[in-house]
Structure 1
């Protein structure tokens, strides 16, 4: 689960996965089928907590990044300005930096 607002990379990864699966089917056809196969909306929901950030890439929503803006406040989007993109939010909770790493 991504926890920062720069979700563009995950969105691009989903798009790339779609292209790869459509163009190269080597081992893929041998995998067991599941009812959720190709449920791209569910995949997107797993990668993103919300999709508000995608509005930043649409010129029709210019200014929506400002937390003081009318649309932003009406939708409860929060601060989508570039300076806030890498601030953790939501769940899961931020990992305790004192925890260390497994080896």
Structure 2
């Protein structure tokens, strides 16, 4: 995953980016993503008993243009992106087939 600038006329390439974060979660049934705490320490225990360390990555900062992160996603996990930057875009690449040739 890489942070880029959205290709819109109002988005300048030389801009100073606003805060952009990603987070990987093992979702629970009927989980409300809008009520997720910003820090894992502030989270209540999960109802399914899975330890938070295994279920929530906490926020990864992707604010800077060109910031990259390799994020392994497995079945049942959700990728959540939050940004206050109307010109931020995340470029996501599926690398699951690399090395299988």
Q: Compute the TM-score of the two structures, normalised by the length of structure 1.
A: 0.22
Greater strand share, 1 or 2?
2
Larger RCO of the pair (alpha carbons < 8 Å, separation 6+): 2
Greater helix share, 1 or 2?
1
Q: Compute the TM-score of the two structures, normalised by the length of structure 2.
A: 0.22
Larger radius of gyration: 1
